[in-house]
Structure 1
Amino acid sequence: MASWNSVPLHVSYEVLGWFAFACWSISFYPQVILNFRRKSVVGLNFDFVVLNLTKHTAYLIYNASLYFSSAIQKQYKDKYGQKEMIPVAANDVAFSAHAVLLTAISLFQIAIYERGGQRISKIALGILLVAWSIAAVCFFVSLHNHHWLWLLSIFSGIQVCMTIIKYIPQAVMNFRRKSTEGWSIGNILLDLSGGIANYLQMVMQSVDQGSWVNFYGNIGKLLLSLVSVFFDILFICQHYLLYPSKRRRSETNIEHDNVKPSDRQSSENV
């Protein structure tokens, strides 16, 4: 196994990795809590949730397989070099498992809470069918020739595609409604922090090893960070710059509705 050359860089790598894990993991809770408090999922795009579940499931398969399987690690080193470090850390596996669980909880909330007229689109269902059909075909191909690293690259590709696609329905919904009500900005701020930390973690490993193989050896992790940061910035612009009046008006209406009639009458008399 390859080893670290610099203790400070190794420590920085671990700190950044677990910081990314904390930010990304916590980022799931604001939306879940918001849904629970409102007893409603109106404003949360269902396509985003089901695509997100597929994305994180594929990412969990990739991370867990490359982290735990010695056979796949051997195939990785045969391809990229015996001295190269495996580009998956324990925090990557922990985050993926946690993400699958929390996304499944969000999907359960969609099933039990008030949904309005929202539903999962046929386009999203079609995308899921294509993605898992490709995964199934590639699995049986790999089962025959034992090209497991190639199979993981397929799952990595699926998670990258899902990462790109999953944000689009929510961004379009916010644009059409001219509002981000029902969509937690806390989720986005934490996701942005995790994406930046994840990218910096990869930089620490590359600087220590004097090699950038871990970037293209784990292109899924790199693209995950870059795509997430891009869309997080887009959502932040929607929330704070493009539709702030809608958001404030919605919050004012909610506060007004929560005021007791007696208090409202007293205020009007004054």
Structure 2
Amino acid sequence: MSSSPFQMNQGIMSTWSIVSDIIGWIYNLSFYFDKEIQEEYQSRHPDSDGNLVRMNDVVFSIHGFVISLFILLQTCVYKKHETQKISSFAASFVWLACMVAVLVVSTIHYGGAIWLDFMYYLSSVKLIISFIKYLPQVWINYKRKSTQGWSVQYIIWDLSGGVLSIIQLLLDAYIDGDWSGIEGDNVKLGLGIIVIGYDFIFLFQHYILYYSHQHFVTIPQDRRSLLADSRVPIEDDDGNSVSSYNSSMNRRPINANRNYGSTNISLYAASV
């Protein structure tokens, strides 16, 4: 992903991410701080000592929300391609999710549901968004038959987080002696499974399926090539040799069209 270095915002999954992180923020804060939600959870799970949402879940959701909000602001300020806009599918999904949310809240008002049901509805929406938002990158890698310019380090960290999140959930349930807590915090388990599944697909694409298609050019290598080329005199239109300084002033940079391994190429752009 690229933003401030070139004053551009390209390939950012801001639409899905901001909605997903808002939902995660509401869900975790409600389960951790709201007494009514906690009482409703206890009533539905009488043998439980409480839900398994912890402070690190709250901090993580707030962190994700702030970062997504910052990226969303970048999409509004920085230059972007004219084709980069919210897709009709994304807009329709968000509007539909909002309308269903209003319907669920109305049902709560008339006694047909409780706020805990609304939280579980939000968690379902978050899981659907999480499943959808990874698909475009899988498709882009497949169409390009390459993962060049795409950050595999992000996926490694993402995979580590997904695995550790599930381990924490299992340990909390074991320590509390309440395995129903896993069902009660289904969004954490579901997100971990989705993240791990997609990350394995990405790693398979990067290290096995398209590994032979990677052709990285490092910045030091390109700098040496640039310096060596600048010392070689070139001929003008009349066949006369001109100085390397004058020729370099009129020469187009040789790295103008190169893609470095640290630059993300149209990450998720297909679905924004």
Question: 2: distance between equivalents of 1:77 and 1:192?
Answer: 32
Asked if the contact 1:39/1:114 (under 8 Å) is kept, the reply is no
Compute the displacement of 1:261 (Å).
3.8
Compute the displacement of 1:262 (Å).
3.5
Match of 1:200 among 164, 167, 178: 167
Question: 2: distance between equivalents of 1:119 and 1:126?
Answer: 14
Q: If each structure's helix is expressed as a fraction of its own residues, which one has the higher value? A: 1
Compute the displacement of 1:39 (Å).
4.3
Query: Which residue pairs with 2:4 in the alignment?
Result: 36
Question: 1: distance between equivalents of 2:212 and 2:144?
Answer: 13
The two structures have a TM-score, normalised by structure 1, of: 0.76
- Say which SS state the counterpart of residue 252 (structure 1) adopts: coil
Q: Which runs of 5+ in 1 are unaligned?
A: 1-30
Question: Cα–Cα, structure 1 residues 142 and 37, in superposed 2: closer, same or farther, change >3 Å?
Answer: same
1:170 paired to 2:118: no
Equivalent residues in 2 for 1:101-120, closer than 5 Å:
101-111=66-76, 112-115=78-81, 117-120=83-86
1:236 paired to 2:189: no
Q: Which runs of 5+ in 2 are unaligned?
A: 235-272
Question: Cα–Cα, structure 1 residues 224 and 152, in superposed 2: closer, same or farther, change >3 Å?
Answer: same
Compute the displacement of 1:58 (Å).
1.0
What are the Cα deviations for residues 144-177 of structure 1, in whole angstroms up to 9, with x where unaligned?
4371111101111111111111111222122223
What are the Cα deviations for residues 77-114 of structure 1, in whole angstroms up to 9, with x where unaligned?
01001542221101111111110111122233334144
Question: Cα–Cα, structure 1 residues 185 and 222, in superposed 2: closer, same or farther, change >3 Å?
Answer: same
Q: Which structure has the larger Rg over C-alpha atoms?
A: 2
Query: Which residue pairs with 1:87 in the alignment?
Result: 52
**Letter in structure 1 aligned against 2:49:** E
The two structures have a TM-score, normalised by structure 2, of: 0.75
Query: Which residue pairs with 1:12 in the alignment?
Result: none
Question: Cα–Cα, structure 1 residues 117 and 206, in superposed 2: closer, same or farther, change >3 Å?
Answer: same
Question: 1: distance between equivalents of 2:157 and 2:49?
Answer: 31
> Pairwise CA RMSD of aligned residues?
2.7
Query: Which residue pairs with 1:131 in the alignment?
Result: 97
Question: 2: distance between equivalents of 1:161 and 1:264?
Answer: 52
Question: Cα–Cα, structure 1 residues 70 and 56, in superposed 2: closer, same or farther, change >3 Å?
Answer: same
Compute the displacement of 1:64 (Å).
0.5
% identical equivalent positions = 27
Query: Which residue pairs with 1:142 in the alignment?
Result: 108
Query: Which residue pairs with 2:27 in the alignment?
Result: 62
Question: 2: distance between equivalents of 1:210 and 1:196?
Answer: 21
Question: Cα–Cα, structure 1 residues 36 and 179, in superposed 2: closer, same or farther, change >3 Å?
Answer: farther
Asked if the contact 1:164/1:227 (under 8 Å) is kept, the reply is yes
Q: When the two structures are aligned, how many residues end up with a matched partner?
A: 232
What are the Cα deviations for residues 208-238 of structure 1, in whole angstroms up to 9, with x where unaligned?
2332111111111110111111111111222
Question: 1: distance between equivalents of 2:8 and 2:219?
Answer: 14
Question: 2: distance between equivalents of 1:135 and 1:189?
Answer: 34
